[in-house]
Structure 1
Amino acid sequence: MLEAKIKDARQWWSWEDVLLIIFFGAVLFLPGLHHIPLFDRDEPRFAEAAREMLRSGNFIVPRFDGVLRPDKPPIIYWLMDFAYRIFGVNGMAARVPSAVFAMLTLLVTYWMAGERFGRIAGLLSSLILGTAVLFVAESRLATADSVLIFFTTLAMLVAWRAWDYFRISTGHADGVHLRIATIRPLTTGEFLNQSQPVPARPLSLVMALVFWVSMGLGVLTKGVTPIFVLVTMMTLSIAKGGIGKAWQHWKSLPLPTKVMEFPHLMLSALRRANWRIWQPLRPMLGIPLMLLVIGPWFVAAWIQTNGLLIQKMVMQNVVERTTSGLQSHGFPPGFYLLVIWATFWPWSVLLIPAAYHVVRRVRRRGPIAIDPGPYEFLLAWVVPSWIIFELIVTKMVQYVLPLYIPLAIICADMLVQSWHRTTDVLAAKWFATARWIWMTIWLVLAGLTIFAMQYLQP
């Protein structure tokens, strides 16, 4: 019986869905890449640095106009060089890696959401992410962000499995995992069949290694940014540790004392954290593997430039971006909360009810008792990293783009559960009204797209 349940848990997806997502991504991300010249300051610099790397045959040290380019590590240039060999040295080839990795990110998002919330939520998560304004824009630019997002999301997929295994195997899971696989309203029998507890599945060695390799490749794509993947797991470790009494004591203190005692609270949280969450990821084996992925390039780059390239990368990408507004991109905290209403459009209208939905699920509120574990992971993914990015002085809209994946999943799950009335966040009449609003919006967008494509024809 247990084996049958595990088999069912693994067979929720279909090849038709995979092909549909690939087709959907290709339609969104590939057309017109060769029509628009490289623009802004970043695209030409990435493309030219990759061209110089290909021409010189030095695939270790990136240069722009012969000068060291410490902006990004080498993976994005390697991918562009590979595309140059296939399509020739041109703007389209420079953009192809971003489009391809954006499609891969949609597939990983489908898998992450579908494993826990069902096939419909998986497909809808990919649709929401793939049509969000900023994600579409970055998937069509010759920059490193789309590649970084893929490696970050892949690492998060494995981390989420580790979290699931920890909760279920240690008895922390409470409630059911609701995997809805149909749009039509569920019968009672179908509801019970799709809401059975998911058995604990040990994280395989291969998946654990995928986590650490993805982390290493993420570092080679855009420096220290993938380290924020670890923030999610650290947050969960602290939340499941013995911080409760210390937290209650800290909350009772007056504000000046709170500020003074906050470092002590953090140290206490780390000391009492539940580090067993990390065991499925096999860090004793994985951390050396990650260093093995990163190390050869760092050593080679250090030798070729006498350490200058690595030093500039650390100063520019870590110190200066954290403490000052690099390249006039300094903004106060709250910047990302302000711009997300445009960058996550057209789905930003769902953010407030989605936040309400996920908080209710974590607090075990709603018509049915659904396991809060997946929602705890999503909150741990979004909130701490978002706060960190808001505190960093240098701000660019794409910095928080990896956090759009959990936002898309939360929005999709809220829509699916509201449709099936397993949550009362959105009323049924909302869907009737929204249907006509969305139809009007997409018809206008289609008209503008056709007009733009005709206008941009050379």
Structure 2
Amino acid sequence: MRTADAGHAVPRGDPASLLDGLIAAAGASHARACALLLALCLVCFLPGFVSLQPMDRDEPRFAQASKQMIETGDLVDIRFQGEARHKKPVGIYWAQSAVVKGAEALGFDQARSTIAVYRVPSLVGAVLASLFTYWAALAFLPRRGALLAAALFSACIMISAEARLAKTDALLTACSVAAMGALARVWLGRISPGRARGRPDLTTLLVFWLAMAIGILVKGPMVPLFVGLAAVALSVKQRSGLWLMDLRPGFGLVLTLVIVAPWFVAIAWKSGGAFFGEAVGHDMLGKVGGAAEKHGAPPGTYLVVFFATFWPGAAFAALAAPFAFANRRDDATAFLIAWIVPAWLLLEAVPTKLPHYVLPLMPAVAILTLLALARGALDPDRWGAKAMAALMVVIPVGLTIGLVTIAWTFDHVVPLAGLPLLLASCAAAILAWILFARRLPERALACAILASALLSPAVFGLTQPVLAALKVSPRLAAIRDGLPCTDPKVASLGYREPSLVFLIGTDLAMLNTGAEAKEFLARGGCRLVFVTDPFLAGFLAEVPSAGGDRAAPVGRVSGFNINSGRRIDLSAYAVTP
């Protein structure tokens, strides 16, 4: 690929020129390119991987259900405490359970209660998503462009966040981009006027169908949905769907059924069909018909938050939009548009919205951005281009100010350890804007990726650990661990976050009234109750009449509940005979 910055030199030793040299060296071979992508992923994904507390509410729900799968030995049914969790298929639970069992086999005694162990499949999924983005991009771009496209995706905030969360979305994205990369090769190799037929090889077919099958086990119909929407749009453009026959659907459907059918048959038999009623009727159709779990938002929401979730590439992607429209009849551009637009419009139309729903579309956005850059379409002289590019500075500057404010407001500390990297990230983002204004878009993009590589360890590795106010459940678990008795029975009155269930254990009792707390404490033995302030008066009115030793205060935790967006105060009372 002829660099988009050719003819616009910067001084030797400038950070941008050093990055350019690194990219040139890595782009010399596929092995080097993958090694650089792996290094970038580890820098962006690993900081805070262990120290970040279980993030309510989805992450500890997944992890706790996997823990119970290990405890019971039941690899078919999925449960959270006593409740059936029939929302997603079993793939992520199997992956998490396998990692935990592997860690235990290697001698890690605390594997079941360590959230980082459950995050390993997500980390692997995020790294695979990066590498598959590189592979997919090679269908459209030479090696250097494919490397930059994968790096731009790997540096975005959303995949960085999902790599640290023990849930489905990183693995789903890996499956989605793998399937779409294979579909791209079939589309670009089909019979068309002036083009010889290029049948996909066996590797491409296996990648496609294995990605479909694993994607179904991880998150049901989502990968087939993304692939199907793109295939329909392209078939309409082609006025024929015969090109899809190159995927050998007979072979593929048999392979997919062999992989996915055993568990679906087993869960249908075990749940009496309840799994499908809950997963399809309640979870999926509930999100389509209304705002599930208070996550409703109007159409256009994803487009607005995209400037944060796809940072640092969002501004560049927005500048590539006119190129995409102008070249929409080009086969390569048409495929990327078909990958992005139909699914994006569908997700915008669904009332339930969460930022990670559009994550599987972001690899295509990154590839399209680099395609526009390679063809000289990221022009800083276009009206509004420099102002748009300046948006990349907003995120690191805003996070620096916001994190310092939060740390001081809630914990009366200044995150001094993270400040140097936070400021360095701001400087790199400003340099990226300067380079873009000087008509060096490729080096600007490289500096933007550097800004993200600095921001991730600053936020997750150095600043996040000092924000004690956000770690309510870990601090409550520490009170339990500090009791002068082993294996206490624990209950919670008013605080029902799944993170507490994961950290305390499956048998954590969830209470509703002070009378229930009185009955719980009267059962004898070592017992501990956490009580939120709104329930405290009722609790204290009941507790003195409890049998056995009186409950004594053993700690108090004040912090910020991320889900409710409010301050929370809890008191801990224990009976320690």
Match of 2:238 in 1: 240
Determine which of 53, 56, 59 is the counterpart of 1:43.
59
Describe the shift of the 1:424–1:312 C-alpha distance in structure 2 as closer, same or farther (beyond 3 A): closer
Which of 213, 234, 245 aligns to 1:216? It is 213
- Distance change (3 Å), C-alpha of 1:204 and 1:349: same
Percent identity (aligned): 31
Q: What amino acid is the match of 2:347?
A: F
Q: Within 5 Å, which residues of 2 pair with 1:139-154?
A: 139-154=163-178
The structural deviation recorded for 1:85 is 1.7
Letter in 1 for 2:188: D
Residues 12-91 of structure 1 correspond to what in structure 2 (within 5 A)? 13-87=29-103, 88-89=111-112, 90-91=114-115
Deviations 1:266-311 (A, max 9, x none): xxxxxxxx01120110112222322232211110001111111222
Query: Structure 2: which amino acid aligns with 1:455?
Result: V
Consecutive unaligned residues of structure 1, counting only runs of 5 or more, are 1-10, 174-198, 242-273, 364-371
The residue number in structure 2 matching 1:300 is: 266
**Counterpart AA for 1:296:** P
Q: In 1, distance between residues paired with 2:163 and 2:463? A: 18
1:208-357 aligned at under 5 Å gives the runs 208-228=205-225, 229-241=227-239, 274-357=240-323
Q: How far does residue 172 in structure 1 lie from its aligned partner after superposition?
A: 5.8
Alignment of 1:174-189 (within 5 A): none
What residue is the counterpart of 1:163 in the other structure? 187
CA displacement 1:211-261 (0-9 Å, x = unmatched): 2222121111111211221110111001111xxxxxxxxxxxxxxxxxxxx
Change (3 A) 1:439 1:216: closer
* Structure 1 stretch displaced more, 213-222 or 425-434: 425-434
**Following the alignment from structure 1 to structure 2, what is the Cα–Cα distance between the partners of residues 76 and 35?**
22
User: Which consecutive aligned stretches of 4+ in structure 1 deviate over 6 angstroms post-superposition?
Assistant: none
Given the two structures, how large is their TM-score scaled by the length of structure 2?
A: 0.61
Q: Which has the higher contact order (CA 8 A, sep 6+)?
A: 1
1:149-182 CA deviation, whole Å, 9 max, x = no partner?
A: 111111111111110111xx32265xxxxxxxxx
Number of the residue aligned with 1:452: 463
Residue 511 (structure 2) aligns with? none
Tell me, yes or no, if structure 1 residue 362 matches structure 2 residue 371: no
SS state of the match for residue 71, structure 1?
A: coil
What is the identity, as a one-letter code, of the residue corresponding to 1:79? A
Q: Report deviation, 1:441.
A: 5.1
The answer to whether the 8 A contact 1:152-1:402 is kept is yes
State how far apart, in whole Å, the 1-side matches of 2:359 and 2:332 are.
Answer: 20
Distance change >3 Å, CA 279–CA 112, structure 1 → 2: same
Q: Which one-letter code corresponds to 1:203 in the other structure?
A: P
- 1:391 counterpart residue number: 349
Please tell me whether residue 430 in structure 1 is matched to residue 430 in structure 2.
no
CA distance in 1, matches of 2:445, 2:146: 20
2:115 paired with 1:95? no
Q: Identify, as 1 or 2, the structure richer in helix.
A: 1
Post-superposition offset of 1:356? 1.3
Query: So what's the TM-score if we normalise by structure 1?
Result: 0.76
State the distance in 2 between where 1:224 and 1:337 align. Answer: 23
Query: Is the CA contact 2:157–2:310 (under 8 Å) kept in the aligned structure 1?
Result: yes
- 1:53-88 deviations in Å (ceiling 9; x for gaps): 011111111110022101211110111111112332
Q: How far apart, CA to CA, are the structure 1 residues paired with 2:223 and 2:450?
A: 39
CA distance in 2, matches of 1:441, 1:25: 14
Quick one: structure 1 residues 48 and 302, their matched pair in 2 at CA, closer, same or farther if it must change by over 3 Å? Answer: same
State the AA in 2 paired with 1:411.
T
Gaps of 5+ in 2: 1-26, 104-110, 382-435, 469-473, 475-577
How many residues get paired? 377
Deviation at 1:426, TM superposition (A): 4.5
Q: Which amino acid aligns with 1:219?
A: I
Q: In structure 2, do the counterparts of structure 1 residues 308 and 130 end up closer, same or farther at CA, with 3 Å as the change threshold?
A: same
Query: Using a 3 Å threshold, how does the CA distance of structure 1 residues 66 and 207 change in structure 2: closer, same or farther?
Result: same
CA contact (8 A) 1:353 1:426 kept: no
> Residues of 1 paired with 2:234 and 2:453: CA distance?
43
1:343 to partner: Cα distance: 0.9
1:153 touches 1:402 (CA, 8 Å); kept in 2? yes
